[in-house]
Each structure stands twice: as structure tokens, then as C-alpha cells.
Structure 1
Amino acid sequence: MDATAGSNPWLNIGIFAAFVVVTLVIVFRASRNNRTAADYYAAGRSFTGPQNGTAIAGDYLSAASFLGICGAIAVNGYDGFLYSIGFLVAWLVALLLVAELLRNTGRFTMADVLSFRLKQRPVRIAAATTTLVVCFFYLLAQMAGAGALVSLLLGIPDKVGQGVVIAVVGALMIIYVLVGGMKGTTWVQIIKAVLLVAGAAVMTVWVLALHGFSLSALLDHAVATAGNPAILNPGLQYGASDASRLDFLSLGLALVLGTAALPHVLMRFYTVPTAKEARRSVVWAIWLIGIFYVFTLVLGYGAAALIGPEAIKAAPGGVNAAAPLLAFELGGPLLLGLISAIAFATILAVVAGLTITAAASYAHDIYANVLKKGKAEPGTEVRVARRTVVVIGIVAIVGGVLANGQNVAFLVALAFAVAASANLPTIVYSLFWKRFTTRGALWSMYVGLASAILLIVFSPVVSGSPTSMFPDAHFAWWPLSNPGIVSIPLAFLVGAVVTLTAKPTEDPAKQSEMEVRSLTGIGAEGAVRH
């Protein structure tokens, strides 16, 4: 089965172009009020909880959720659905541990929270560094998804053509963020979230209708097409060996703990006016994300039943093509074009959110607070952020070309592992441990970041296997594909040991102020207006 043979590239391009034009108009309209740093980074804190929750869902339901998870379920069955479970459960950690406390304590970025009672300069540099690295890994996944999707739709099998596609996505993303800032990006994410959930709902009902609305009939059909009953059981991907079982534990740790440390998710809590709205945001996001992940179960097994795992793996785009192939099987070229346009919108919106987060981290934390010692003019800070957007866009394009062909859900899991290793220990310790010191924070962040990246570089992800980024090279000495099982506990341990073996130098009054503000919100609004 080959969707590209029956699809109409010009129809697909037309649907893509219509979406891009509509969203660009929205972005330009939203950009008219981008005068201050608060407008550009936090959309003037003008969004309600439900609006922001929908935007968070739009930020979170990335190419990994739609393309990668559907493909993982279609090919690996039960083990693929573990991505959905991990991504959803992670929101309970974000809701219970960080959402309200971060909103009360910070202004624009994660570093605002970490440097509240610790030493500003070194902590902001460390937080900005980890933010940029996490955003880069996440951007790799989105760019790889763009290459897979458009290569399928336009029938571009060669890497050069897919590289051009990735460059176009990068250029569009730069325009969105340069012009619209956080407000424009948020409206694009709201529109995208509604379209994505609606599109997935239509396909889910369609697949179930073909099987008499019987999930059992759908699963039986999937087993018959795949010729493998193991797709209904645990262990197809993560049960073959001891190493694969450890890899599953590592993946689970990264998924569940990573969300509460993702900079582009954390930054969303600053776009609402109060901590109460931040909580409402997360509740709305959980509902939308949870409903969507139920849909992925039906869509993944639907693709396995109607197309087959082998046909999916052989298609342009590989496992990431499962959802578009299913759309073509159900509704022909028109549904393929519509669903693919939604997936393309998904990529653009998430990439824009990541880029503005990375740009804000550099401009606000490094330029304004480290280089200018908090005395930068707001207009200058926004100009620096916009220049940073261009640089990040170019780096993302180059990285996306290298990562093209990897499963996007898997690439996002690496970003989660880096975030959970580099950011989460310091966030948790800063919010809940009075004795935590600047030295503990720096050691935790840098050791977590370095260990995660080191283990990824020397893992089968980068070299040593046919699906590696560099398949012809062989320098993989670490057997696991995800570093979380080592790097996350190591970062927690190092932060605790360094803190306990060093003399506290932080101001106790500042620690008490942070505790009161994070738990009650008293004083937070004054800091926001500052």
C-alpha cells in the first residue's frame, strides 16, 4: 500500500498553504501589542486557564504524539502504547509538584525560579545552557517529523529533498516567532490543538465504525494483518533481552519525570494572570491530552489492521508515516491532505514554542541578567531575543537534517531524559529543600546534562546500528538507547551530596520568602509588574 501513489501533491500543498496563510494572518494580528518583554515572552499574561490549557496541549501534542506514537503502536503494539501512558502520567508530576509553585515564583523563564534564592549569575548561565540543549533535542524530533511527513505526501524519497523540506519548516518557524512572539505562537497552538484532537477523533470513530465499534474486532484484525499475535502483548520491543528491559525502565523514568522539567512547558505557566489559572491550565491540558492518547491506541492498531506493520516500515517516512497512511486508506487523498496539514501544523506550532523558549532563555537570562546585570532596556532585550531566534532556527535545520529518519517519539524521549536529568533535580530541591545551595544546583545541572548527553552520544542512537544517525560509524559502548536510568538518579544524588558537604552561603531570609511566595502567591504579582 503506497499513499504517495494515489495522493495529489498539489492538493496537499494547497491545504498546507491555506493553513500557513491563515496562521500567519493570526500571528501578524497578535504581534501588534508586542511592545515589552512581558508581551513578547508571556503574551502579556492575558490568557485564561482554559485557553492556556489548550495551548499547553498544543505544545505537548507534538509530532511525536501524532506521528511517532501511532507508528510505534502500529509496529510494536502494546510496547508502543507505553509512550502514551508515560507522556500522560507525567502531567500528574507537573500538576502536583511544579505548576502553581513556578507561577508564583518566576517571571518569564525557569531560571527566574532557580535563581530566586541562589546566586544569580552562575545559576542563570547553567539554566540557560540546559534550556538551550533540551530545546535543541526537542527541535530535532519535530524537524525529523516534518521531513518524514512531507516526503510521504510529495513523494520525496531522497535525503536532499527532505532536507529542503526541513529548511522550509525552519524558515516558517522563524517568521512565526520573530513576528508573533508568545501571543502569536499561543494562538497557533490553540488552533492546532483543536484541529488535532478533532482530526484524531474523526479517524478514531471511522476506524471503530469499520469494525462494528468493537475494539476486540479491531485487535483481531490487527493481529491477522500483522501475522503476529505478539503485538497485543508486552515485550515485543522491550522484552527481548535484559538490555531492552532496562531500556524500558529508562524510557519510563524519562517520560514520567521529563514533562515537569521541559522549559517550553514551564514557560507556559507565565502566560496566565494567576496561580489559580495555572492550575486550571494543567487540568484542561490533562483532559485534552488524555483523550487524545486514547485515540492513539485505536489509530495505531487501526494502521496495523488496515495497512500492516511491514508496509508502514517500507513507506517513505517509515514508522512516522502510519497516521497519514491510515488517513489515505480511510478517506483517500482529501483526508490524507487534511490530516497531514494538521500534522504539519502540529510541527510548526511546537517548533515555534520551543524556539521562543530558547530565545527567551538566552535574551532574558544571559543577556539581560548576566551580561547587563539586570539593567537592559526592555526593547533591547526583545531585539536580542529575535536575533537569537534566527540562530536557533538555523541550528535546528542542520540538526533536523542529521536526525531525519529516526522515530520522532523516540527522539522526544531523549529530550525528556535530558530535561529530567539537567533540570528536575534542581527545580525540586529549590522549591522544597531549604538547605539547597548554589553549588548543589550547579553540580546537579551540569552533571545531569553532561551524563545524559555523553550516554546518548555513545549509545546505539548515534552509531552502531542501521537506524543510527551515523549507521556506518561504530563508537557505541553504552547499550541503552535512553540515558534516564543513570543520568536522572545521578543528578539527584550529586545535588544532594554537594549540598550536604558544603557550607550554606545563601540568605535564610530569601529562602523563607521563596517558600511563602511559592506556596501562597503573596508578593508574586508585585514581581510580575516589576
Structure 2
Amino acid sequence: MMKLFLYFALLLPVSSRAADAISGAVEKQPTNVEAIVMFLIFVAATLGITWWASKRTRSRSDYYTAGGNITGFQNGLAMAGDFMSAASFLGISALVYTSGYDGLIYSLGFLVGWPIILFLIAERLRNLGRYTFADVASYRLKQLPIRTLSACGSLVVVALYLIAQMVGAGKLIQLLFGLDYHVAVVLVGILMVLYVLFGGMLATTWVQIIKAVLLLFGASFMAIMVMKTVGFSFNNLFTQAMAVHPKGVAIMRPGGLVHDPISALSLGLGLMFGTAGLPHILMRFFTVSDAREARKSVFYATGFMGYFYFLTFIIGFGAILLVGANPAFKDATGLLIGGNNMAAVHLADAVGGSLFLGFISAVAFATILAVVAGLTLAGASAVSHDLYASVVKKGQATEKQELRVSKITVLVLGVVAIALGILFEKQNIAFMVGLAFSIAASCNFPIILLSMYWSKLTTRGAMAGGWLGLLTAVVLMILGPTVWVQVLGHAKPVFPYEYPALFSMLVAFIGTWLFSVTDHSQEGQQERQRFQAQFVRSQTGVGIESGKSH
């Protein structure tokens, strides 16, 4: 049984491997006119939506949560749009192209975290919170320290994710459009600022929805065309793929991508529990009207993502048949032009010609715009709502002041994101995705979960566990083989495992428990007593106003 659990856990770390598909050195391709035209059409349409949204964004609630008027279906599609990234689309299909069966397991494994974790917190999060997940954590604990910790955790996660997305954007554009890296980074930065600055959550949501629909349509068309070539028979697909793949029948055997069990287990846990601690995902639960719609959001998001990753499996095997066996897509040395991560793009050319290739290229870039818009809004809300309004102004800031600070933060984040994207151009940034999930799992998730379910939690325990989890995740990642050896150039790592979530989560939970149960102060007793009021509201949505200072 333990072996089965361990192997299952090893199947989860898809995001970091997928991110690695666009993190290495790339070669600039010839200018793709069709892709540029289609991308300009997408940009024009989404800027039109931003203008429409700006007319409907008048209050703080409109800006942060679209007034709570997004339906469960729309929110689920937008959440799926956040996860169906360009790295997932290109990276997972590349994994299937190179390793076969293992790609299916990696693409679907981390989805387990959605129904388990998000159904566990979705309803209570919606009932307790208003704009950010810090509203939930600070409901019965001290406002100032908890919001400071939550905002710091959010900003670190947002910064790491933004760096990965900006560098990925620049390299994708070199591959797909033939434009310069710096041009791509600046373009993404400007567009994300426009979406968030003027349209807020409403514009961000619809950008994510449109991107998700386009990506699902493009992937569905590719999968259907692949299945058409094999008579809609999976048996024929697998048989023909084994016949042309260099590994032969080995592509149908699992286990080829597993190397270090502890690191894989640690990353898997980080991805599973980190999903429930990502600020831009948690923020989406406040855009719906009630807890029922929040649960529906998770249901639809899981369904859309499961369908998408199933399509990438077909696309990967289709690339083996139609790309791997076609010399037109290979260079003089026999390697795939642009690398294995271009397998899906070459397949688009093979099944749909240059026009469809342009469409897929434009959609791949659009996915990054959708993700960075959500990240930027989450970072701006952490600064304006949690730090400025609640910590600096101690709840006395007006809506106008808070919105002004939020929009200034958006501009600053745009400049910082562009600068970091250019600064990290030559660096291997794949580890940042894993680190972002590790911090979310070690700092944000334990506080959210325990504040909802554990009656003995106190501010002292939450602060100690949260900071210990965050710092442990960062320090262990720096001392591990990815940064200490590959980035800093040392011979051996101080910490032997690649990802820290397994250890940093333990530190966070143990620290929170220890410092809470040993807190015998009068303040701690009062915080424990407030749990009952919070529990009633988390179940019904009725009770003391969320965000009340203690």
C-alpha cells in the first residue's frame, strides 16, 4: 500500500516539468505573420472587453471581485484558464512525445488536488472572505500581524510566478512568432497592466475565459484530426506510435520519468496543497455570489482541466506519428526544429496548415497574458487591501484611497515584472514554479486550513508556523541541488532534495501547533472562543461582519 501511495504521489509534479519545457535556451524562429495577425485580433478583442469592463468597475468590490456577479460556470472556466498555461500545453505534449504513457500520468495526476483540497475550503472561504484569503485568516485572529504575513506570502508567490511567466513569454515569442525576447516581455507587461488597471477582475475574468475557450477549441481540433488519421481507434494510435518511436514498446510502460522519490513526493505535495494556497486562485472564489456557486466553480474547473489534459495526451501521441516520423519538421541532425517542446506546434502545422499554426501560436501567447493578469490583480489586492487599508491605515482607508493604491501597485508590478523578465533572461527559471507552490503550501495553506477547522489556533501559532514555513521553503530551495548546484555553481548541495514542500509543510504545521497549544495568554483564550462564531459563519455565511478588527 505504501508503495502504491508513493508511486501515485510521484505522478503529481507536472507543472515544474512543463515549465521547464520553455525555460531552457531557445533559437529565434522566422517571423510568423499569421500568428502575429491572430494575436493582434485577440489583443484588440480583449482590449475592447477591458474598455467595456472599465465602464462597469466603479467600486472596490467591482475592482477586486467583479461585484460577486460571476457565475459558477464562468468562474470555473476562468480558473481552468489560469491552469491551462502555455507551459502545460507545450510541456505536457512534449513529455508524451518523448516518454509516451508517462505523459498521461503526469498531466492528470495533480488534478487530484482540486476536488480534495478546493472542495474542502471553497464553501467556507466564500462565506468568510470578502476580497483576499487574509480576510479569512484574520477573522478571529489579530488583523495586523496576520494580514502582514498573508500579504508577504502572497507577494512572494506572485513574484516567483510572474518571473516564470515573463521569461516563458519572451522565449515562447522567439519560438512561435520570431520576435525579439525583449519586445515580447515589454508587450506582455504593458498588456497585463492595461487589463488590470482599467478592467479589474471583470476584464481579467473574461480574458481568462476567452483564452480557455480558444485553447480548448484548438486542442480539440488537433486531437480530432489525430484520431481521424488512425480511424478513431486508440489501439491504432498506440500501435502506430510504438512502431515509429525510437523507444518502441517502452513508451507504453510507466515509470521512466521518476528519479528521486523524495523530491518527487515533495513536489507532488507542494503542487497538491499549494493549489489551495495560490492567492490568484483563492481570490476567484470571492467573484461568485455564494458558497453554492463556489462549489460549482471547482466542479467545472476540474472538468475543463481534465478534458484539456486528456487532449494533450492524444496530441503528444499524434506528434509521434505526424511530426516525429516526418523529416520536414527536423533539422539536418535529425532533431526536432525548435526542440521537443515544439512538437504540438509542428503538429498544428501538420493537421491545419499555416493558418491553424498561427492560431495555436497566438493562443499559446494569450495563455500567458491571462495568467499574468490574474497574478497582478492578486498582488495589487495584497498591497492595497491587506497592507495599506488594514495594516497602515488600520481599517480607516476610504474605498477611493484603497483603489488608488491598488492601481499604483499595478503600475509598479508591471515595471517590476518587465525588469525581472529581462534580468532573468539567461537563467533557468523552472524551479521558481515549484518554489511558488512550495511557499503557497507551507505558508498560505496551513493558516487558511487551520483557521477554518482548528479551534485552538492562536495568532502566535499562526505567525510562528506561517513564517517558519515560508522561510524554510525558501532556504531549503536555495540550499538544494536546483539553486545551490545548477544556479550558483557549487559542487554538491547542502540540502539533498530538489523540492522542499514535504519538509517545509511539516515545519509549518508543527510550528503552528506547538506555538498555539503553548499560548496560555488571555488573548489566545479569546481567539479560541471566537472560533465558534467563525464556524457558524463558515457554514451559513451569516454572522459577524468579515474583516472586523479584534
Structure-2-length-normalised TM-score: 0.87
RMSD: 2.8
Deviation at 1:458, TM superposition (A): 2.7
Maintained 8 Å contact 1:440/1:498: yes
Q: Which residue of 1 aligns with 2:92?
A: 69
Distance 1:507 1:408 in 2: 41
Q: What count of residue pairs does the alignment treat as equivalent?
A: 515
Distance 1:187 1:23 in 2: 8
Is 1:9 matched with 2:32? yes
Q: Which residue of 1 aligns with 2:6?
A: none
- The structure 2 residue matched to 1:175, chosen from 183, 190, 194, is 194
Deviation at 1:408, TM superposition (A): 8.3
Q: Which residue of 1 aligns with 2:158?
A: 135
Distance 2:425 2:239 in 1: 33
Q: Which residue of 2 aligns with 1:486?
A: 503
Distance 1:399 1:4 in 2: 21
Q: Which residue of 2 aligns with 1:271?
A: 287
1:13-412 equivalences in 2 (<5 Å):
13-155=36-178, 161-228=180-247, 229-239=249-259, 244-308=260-324, 318-401=339-422, 404=425, 411-412=432-433
Deviation at 1:232, TM superposition (A): 2.6
Distance 1:359 1:167 in 2: 19
More moved, 504-513 vs 332-341:
504-513
Deviation at 1:311, TM superposition (A): 6.0
Maintained 8 Å contact 1:49/1:280: yes
Distance 2:319 2:429 in 1: 17
Distance 1:405 1:302 in 2: 32
> What letter is aligned with 1:522?
V
Deviation at 1:42, TM superposition (A): 0.5
Distance 1:245 1:384 in 2: 45
Query: Structure 1 pair 323/457, CA: closer, same or farther in 2 (3 Å)?
Result: farther
More moved, 250-259 vs 103-112:
250-259
Deviation at 1:403, TM superposition (A): 5.1
More moved, 250-259 vs 174-183:
250-259
1:510-529 equivalences in 2 (<5 Å):
510-523=530-543, 527=546
- The structure 2 residue matched to 1:477, chosen from 494, 498, 501, is 494
Distance 1:453 1:68 in 2: 25
> What letter is aligned with 1:456?
M
Distance 1:316 1:294 in 2: 25
> What letter is aligned with 1:146?
A
User: Any idea what SS the aligned residue of 1:261 has?
Assistant: coil
Maintained 8 Å contact 1:105/1:518: yes
Query: Structure 1 pair 43/448, CA: closer, same or farther in 2 (3 Å)?
Result: same
Deviation at 1:501, TM superposition (A): 2.3
Q: Which residue of 1 aligns with 2:446?
A: 425
Deviation at 1:252, TM superposition (A): 1.6
Deviation at 1:498, TM superposition (A): 1.8
Maintained 8 Å contact 2:479/2:493: yes
Is 1:461 matched with 2:482? yes
Deviation at 1:256, TM superposition (A): 1.7
Deviation at 1:472, TM superposition (A): 5.4
User: Any idea what SS the aligned residue of 1:29 has?
Assistant: helix
Distance 1:395 1:316 in 2: 33
Is 1:500 matched with 2:520? no
Distance 1:146 1:319 in 2: 17
Distance 1:147 1:479 in 2: 32
Maintained 8 Å contact 1:426/1:441: yes
Deviation at 1:117, TM superposition (A): 0.5
Maintained 8 Å contact 2:283/2:378: yes
Q: Give deviations 1:293-324, integer Å, cap 9, x for gaps.
A: 11121122323443349969966764543322
Deviation at 1:198, TM superposition (A): 1.2
Maintained 8 Å contact 1:238/1:247: no
> What letter is aligned with 2:48?
V
Deviation at 1:388, TM superposition (A): 0.9
More moved, 374-383 vs 325-334:
325-334
More moved, 448-457 vs 191-200:
448-457
- The structure 1 residue matched to 2:463, chosen from 442, 451, 454, is 442
Distance 2:42 2:191 in 1: 12
Maintained 8 Å contact 1:317/1:405: no
Q: Give deviations 1:194-216, integer Å, cap 9, x for gaps.
A: 11111111111111222222223
Deviation at 1:4, TM superposition (A): 9.4
Q: Give deviations 1:27-73, integer Å, cap 9, x for gaps.
A: 11111122221111011111111111111111222223222222233
Deviation at 1:423, TM superposition (A): 1.2
Distance 1:23 1:401 in 2: 25
Q: Give deviations 1:84-136, integer Å, cap 9, x for gaps.
A: 22331111123321100000001100110000001110000000000111112
More moved, 275-284 vs 471-480:
471-480
User: Any idea what SS the aligned residue of 2:536 has?
Assistant: helix
Q: Give deviations 1:372-413, integer Å, cap 9, x for gaps.
A: 001111111111111111222233233334555889886534
Maintained 8 Å contact 1:422/1:491: yes
User: Any idea what SS the aligned residue of 1:150 has?
Assistant: helix
Query: Structure 1 pair 41/21, CA: closer, same or farther in 2 (3 Å)?
Result: same
Identity percentage of aligned residues: 46
Distance 1:127 1:5 in 2: 40
Q: Which residue of 1 aligns with 2:3?
A: none
Structure-1-length-normalised TM-score: 0.90
Maintained 8 Å contact 1:74/1:304: yes
Deviation at 1:485, TM superposition (A): 2.1
Distance 1:529 1:501 in 2: 26
Query: Structure 1 pair 482/300, CA: closer, same or farther in 2 (3 Å)?
Result: farther
Query: Structure 1 pair 133/254, CA: closer, same or farther in 2 (3 Å)?
Result: same
Distance 1:8 1:330 in 2: 21
Query: Structure 1 pair 140/208, CA: closer, same or farther in 2 (3 Å)?
Result: farther
Deviation at 1:528, TM superposition (A): 9.3
Distance 1:200 1:194 in 2: 10
User: Any idea what SS the aligned residue of 1:461 has?
Assistant: helix
Maintained 8 Å contact 2:29/2:176: no
Distance 2:320 2:428 in 1: 17
Query: Structure 1 pair 408/473, CA: closer, same or farther in 2 (3 Å)?
Result: closer
Maintained 8 Å contact 1:206/1:330: yes
